[in-house]
Amino acid sequence: MRWARAAGIFAAKTLALFLAVSALSFTLVRLSPIDPVQAYVGNDASVSNEQRERIARRWGLREPPVTQYFTWLGNLCRGDFGESTLFRLPVLQVIRERAVLSAALMALSWAFSGLLGFALGVVAGAYRGGWPDRAIKTWCLVLASAPTFWLAMALMLAFAVAFPVLPLGLAAPAGKLAADITFADRARHLVLPCAALTLSGISSMAMQTRQKLCEALEQDYALYAAARGESKWTIIFRHGIRNIALPALTIQFLSFSELFGGSVLAEQVFSYPGLGRTVVMAGMKSDIPLLLGITIFSAFFVFAGNTAANGLYRLVNPEIKDREL
C-alpha cells in the first residue's frame, strides 16, 4: 500500500513537472525574437516570401499559440519531439547521441567531486583551526569563486598549451576514423573537461562535510569516546563518518542542477560534443525543437537527482519512514 501511494505521488509529480516545464518553455520561446522559418531557411536568398509563408502554415505557426502548444504537447506524448533544423535529424536521436558523451563526463565528475570533497571535508574537520583546515578552506573558497569556464580555460592553458600533455579539446582525435578511435583516445580527451567539472563541484561538498563533522565531534558520544582514551581518528571513523555520510550523500545528489549547468560551460570551452555544447548551438542557431527537447530532458535529469536524494534519505533514515507512517 505504501509503495502504491509512493508510486502515485511520483507519477503525479512527474506529470506536473512535464506540464509546467513544457508550458513555460513553449511560452518563453514564443515570446523570444526567434523565427523558426528563418532558422530553417538560413541564408538561402532563393526562398521567396510565398515559400516562407507555406512553410510557416505547414508547421502550424499561423495557428493561435494555445493551439500550437497543445499540438506540440500531443506530439511529445507520442514521443515525437520534432526534427532538429541544425542537424536535420530527429531531436530524440540527437539527444540520445550527445547524452552518451555528457553522461560519461558528468558521471565521472560527479563521483570524483563527491569523493574528493568528502575526503577534504573530513581532513578539514579533523584538524579544525589547524593549518590543514585553513589551507583547505582557502582552496575551497578560491574554487567556489572561480567560474567553471575560467577553471576550464586555466586547465587548457596549463596542460594543453603551456605543457601539451593532454588534447586541447573535442571527444576524440580530429581526422581519425571512428573505427580507429580507442578507449585510451576517448579517455585522454575526457581528462580536462572532467577535471574542470570536478574542481567546480568540490568546494560545496568539502565545506558542508567539514561543518557536519565539527558538529558531530562536539556531541556527547564523541566527547565520551575521547574521555575513554580513543584517538581522534578512531572517533571520526567510528562515530563521525556514520553521522555525516547521509547529509553528504543528500548534498551530492542535490548537486545535479549545478552539474548540468557546469557541463554546459566546460563542454563549450573544450568543444566537447555533449548535450551542454549542443544546447548552446541550438540557442545560437535558433533550433527551437532541439532547444525545447534538451530543456525538457535537463529538467527531468535534475528532477531525477532530487528524487534520488529524497529516496535515499528515506531509505537510510528510518525516523523519516516512521513519521510518514
Q: Please list the pLDDT of the chain residue by residue as tens digits (325 residues).
A: 566 776 777 778 888 888 899 999 999 888 888 777 777 777 666 777 888 888 888 877 788 888 889 988 898 888 889 888 888 899 999 999 898 889 899 999 999 999 999 999 999 998 988 899 999 999 999 988 888 889 999 999 999 888 888 888 888 888 777 778 888 888 898 999 999 999 988 998 999 999 989 888 888 888 888 888 888 888 888 888 888 888 888 888 878 778 888 888 888 899 898 888 898 888 888 888 899 999 999 888 888 877 877 777 666 655 555 444 4
The three-class DSSP label of residue 83 is: strand
End of a domain among 51, 68, 85?
A: 68
Q: CA distances (Å), 207 to each of 44, 55, 122, in order?
A: 54, 55, 9
The verdict on 64 and 166 lying in the same domain is no
Return the C-alpha cell found at 136.
583547505
**Strand (E) or helix (H) holding 203:** helix 183-217
The verdict on 115 and 29 lying in the same domain is no
End of a domain among 30, 52, 68?
A: 68
Residue 107 within any structural domain of the chain: yes
Pseudo-torsion of CA 33, 35, 36, 41, nearest 10°?
Answer: -150
Task: Quote the pLDDT of residue 319.
Answer: 56
Residue 85 within any structural domain of the chain: no
Q: Compute the distance between CA of residue 87 and CA of residue 192 in angstroms, rounded to an integer.
A: 27
Residue 80 within any structural domain of the chain: no
Task: Measure CA of the first residue to CA of the last residue in the chain; give whole Å.
Answer: 11
Q: How many folded domains does the chain comprise?
A: 2
The verdict on 176 and 35 lying in the same domain is no
The verdict on 133 and 230 lying in the same domain is yes
The verdict on 49 and 130 lying in the same domain is no
End of a domain among 68, 103, 121?
A: 68
CATH number of the domain encompassing residue 160: 1.10.3720.10
The verdict on 168 and 302 lying in the same domain is yes
Return the C-alpha cell found at 160.
594543453
Task: Quote the pLDDT of residue 191.
Answer: 92
The verdict on 130 and 58 lying in the same domain is no
Task: Quote the pLDDT of residue 316.
Answer: 60
- Whether 110 and 255 have beta carbons less than 8 Å apart is answered as yes
The verdict on 172 and 61 lying in the same domain is no
Q: Compute the distance between CA of residue 55 and CA of residue 72 in angstroms, rounded to an integer.
A: 16
Range of the domain at 7: 2-68
